[in-house]
Structure formats: C-alpha cells, structure tokens
Amino acid sequence: MDLRCSEEDEAFRAEGGDWLWDNLAGEFAGGRGIGGAGSEHEGFDVRQAWERRLAEGGWTCIGWPKEHGGRGATLTQQVVFHEEYARAEAPARVGIFGEGLLGPTVIAFGSDEQQRRFLPPIVRAEELWCQGYSEPDAGSDLANVQTSAVLDGDEWVITGQKVWTSLAHWADWIFVLCRTDREAPRHKGISYLLCPMRQPGVDVRPIVQLTGTSEFSEVFFDGARTGREHVVGEIDAGWRVAMGTLAFERGTLYFGQQIGFERELRQVVELARVNGALDDPVVRDRLARAWIGLRVMRFHNLRTLRDGEPGPEASINKLFWSVWHRELGNLAMDVLGPAATLADAPLQRVFLFSRADTIYAGSNQIQRNIIGERALGLPAEPRA
C-alpha cells in the first residue's frame, strides 16, 4: 500500500500551511497553542474569533461537499490540513463538534430542510455545538440512555441528564440522544434530536477535573423544548444515526492530534536533556519506544482511511493512542522526578488529563470488544 501523498495533496498542504502562517499574526499571534484537551478553558474569545477567520478564508468544513459549503477535500487533503494546522500551533477549534460530527451527520441522515437550516451557520462559524450522549448510567453502554423526549403539539419536551459534555457552557445547540419509546427494545425507541441550549429548562453545570479546570459539564434538561422537525432520521430510529456520528468521530482529526503528541514528546526529550535524565539508558529506551509508537500510529491511521471512511478497525486507533498518550504522561513525570509534584510543573497537565484518555469516547474495554467482535469477527462477549 502506497501511503505517500500525491503532488496535488502536497500542493494543498502548501496552500493551507501558507494561509495558516500568514493569518496567525496580529491579533492571533498570541493564540498559538492555546486550548485543546486539558486546556479547553483557555482563550475562548480569541479561539472563537479565529474560527470566524478560518470561515472567511474558506478553511472550515473542508471535507464537506461543495454544495454544502465545503471544499470537497479528499481524505488525504483533510489529513494534510490537520497536520499543518497542528504544526502551525493554531488555536484549538471551538467549532469541532459542529464541523466534525453534527454537520456530516446531517449531510448523511438529515432532511433538506435541516441541511439548509443547520449547515450554513456551522460553515460560517456562527453556531457552536456540543454532544449529548453519555449519562450517569449510559456511558460505554450508550443504549441505556434514559433522557426522554415527549411530543407536546409541535414541540418535543426533553427531560433528563447528560454528563461529560465537552464545551457545553459555550454551545448554542446540542445533538442529544433521547428515549422516545420506553416500550421498545434498548437499541430502538431512541431518537436523535437537535435542541437549543440557551433556553429555560437547560442547566449547564461545569465539572472540575484533576487539572483544576472545567471543560466537561453536566447538562440537565427540565422541560427543555425543541421543534418537532428537529429529529435527524426517523423517530425511534436514532441509534443508526448515533452510530454514524461515532464513525465520523474516528476520522481525520487524529492526524492533527498526532502532531500535538509529537510536540509533547519533543518537550519530554528536551527536559531529559536539560536535567540529565537522558543519561539513563532506561529513559532513552522509553523515549525511543514513544517515537516508534508515534510512527506506528500515523501509518495505521493512514491505512484505515485509504479505502474510505473508517470502519470498526478504527477503534484500534483510539485504543493505541490513548494508551500511548497515558504512557507519555507517565514518562514525562519520571523524567521530571521530584519536580513533577510542583503545581506548575511542565507537562503535568498532560499526565493528569491523559488519565481520561482511556475512558472517554468509548473506554478501552469497550474498544477491545468492538475490535474483537466487529473487526475480527470473534464471538460476542457473554451477556448476563
């Protein structure tokens, strides 16, 4: 399999990279590297303004079809743009849930009316979205959602609770899984609703993390309302739509993430060089293994995308990078030694936040089940 980029892809890389470097100046010069996992509290106003600058330049939603406001970029072109974005240390995106998850879902499953209403504001960076999937009793076991939606005339009335909702305190809308038929089997009777966040009946409560910051929230719905027409797909058939959204989540964004990982690894190497930890052969071996892991990660991601959108085997990506990143956090603290206990220790936030890497977006245990049952075709795990 040839994993090299074509001349056309490299030209696209140069165009995107040049635009990024030209525009990360002036008011955005101080925004380099802000935000991202573990640091989502940083610089929201600057990042929102940057999102609009991207829109003005035509660099939002680049993988969407042109008829929906995108560039129609190929998968490889999306990969190279995400790599250049991370390499330029551009601010972490605040529109990622709309562009990367909700938008492709509406394109694939939504009505013409929904596409006209919801896609243009995402392209223009005018509306921000968050994801309402997990609940206190429905995390990896997503089919156990209990948040309910009941029709009242031309509106759905939503009652229940979601948790670990990223960027909820900034979002304008939420795509939320609700149980609309309590008599139906677990994977049926679920609908995929689009609900405005800024209304009575929606209460967002930030969750303080190990890092001391809050990027996740609990979201409580107490009679929140949304239009009858705001169901993506068919009523009671939202499970298929929800799984489609998760497939988009396993896409090209991983490549930009890897550039960030590479930057963190370079920081660990530099720390080891400065404080003498690099003299330890065990530390050198662990650093070499981390470097090799990054290369394995990239080539596997390319392999899973070459034939189109990622399938079940893309769960290997999540399993691999989450374990790799957690181990990098451990390595960083070992390199720092006693200094790692200081509150402002370099890379301490990587160590703390990476504890969540193997849990969110599907725990490692669930990823292994998906790999075994759906990718390898092994017998299903015994059920009680």
Which residue, 59, 93, 94, is CA-closest to 78? 59
Contact yes or no for 255/298 (Cβ under 8 A): yes
pLDDT digits (tens, 9 = 90+) for 2-47: 667 899 999 999 999 999 999 999 999 999 989 887 788 889 999 9
Angle at 19 between CA 17 and CA 21, to 5 degrees: 70
Q: Are 105 and 232 within 8 A, CB to CB?
A: yes
Report the length, in residues, of the chain. 384
Q: Position 234: which residue type?
A: E
* Per-range mean pLDDT, top range of 47-61, 337-351, 363-377: 47-61
Give every CB contact of residue 24 below 8 A, 6+ residues apart in sequence: 31, 32, 88, 89, 90
Closest C-alpha among 298, 292, 155 to residue 229: 155
* 138 secondary structure, DSSP code: B
Query: Taking residues 162-186, what's their average pLDDT?
Result: 96
Better-predicted residue by pLDDT, 343 or 372: 372
**So what's the pLDDT on residue 2?**
65
Phi-psi region of 223 (alpha: psi -120 to 50; beta: other; left: phi over 0): left
What sign does the CA torsion over 158, 163, 169, 170 have? negative
Give the largest CA-CA distance in the chain: 71
Q: What is the pTM of this model?
A: 0.90
Pairwise CA distance, residues 17 & 57, whole Å: 13
C-alpha span between 272 and 132 (Å, rounded): 41
Task: Answer whether 345's CB lies under 8 Å from 283's CB.
Answer: no
Q: Tally Cβ neighbours within 10 Å of residue 156.
A: 26
Which tokens is 66 given? 């042109």
Q: What is the pLDDT of residue 311?
A: 62
Quickly state the pLDDT bin for 219 (edges 50, 70, 90).
very high
To which residue do tokens 């660099």 refer? Answer: 59
Chain centre distance of CA 178: 21
**d(Cα 351, Cα 329) in Å, to the nearest integer?**
4
To the query of whether residue 249 is one of the catalytic residues in this protein, the response is yes
Q: What percent of the chain has pLDDT above 70? A: 96
**Phi and psi dihedrals of 315, rounded to 5?**
-60, -25
- DSSP assignment, residue 146? -
Say which residue, 95 or 370, is predicted with more confidence.
95
- Which of 7, 249, 270, 313 is catalytic? The answer is 249
Confidence grade of residue 313 (pLDDT, cut at 50, 70, 90): low
- In this predicted structure, what is the pLDDT of residue 260? 86
Which pLDDT belongs to residue 71?
97
Least-confidence region, from 116-130, 174-188, 269-283, 357-371: 357-371
Six-digit token pair at 345?
């220790």
Half-sphere exposure of residue 338: CA atoms within 13 angstroms, side-chain side: 0
294 by Cβ neighbours in 10 Å (0-12 / 13-18 / 19+) ranks as middle
Question: Using CA atoms, how far apart are residues 5 and 7, in angstroms rounded to an integer?
Answer: 7
Nearest of 191, 202, 199, 201 to residue 229 by alpha carbon: 191
Q: How confident is the model at residue 374 (pLDDT cuts 50, 70, 90)?
A: confident
For 104, the token pair is 């492709």
Residues of the chain with pLDDT > 90, as a percent, come to 73
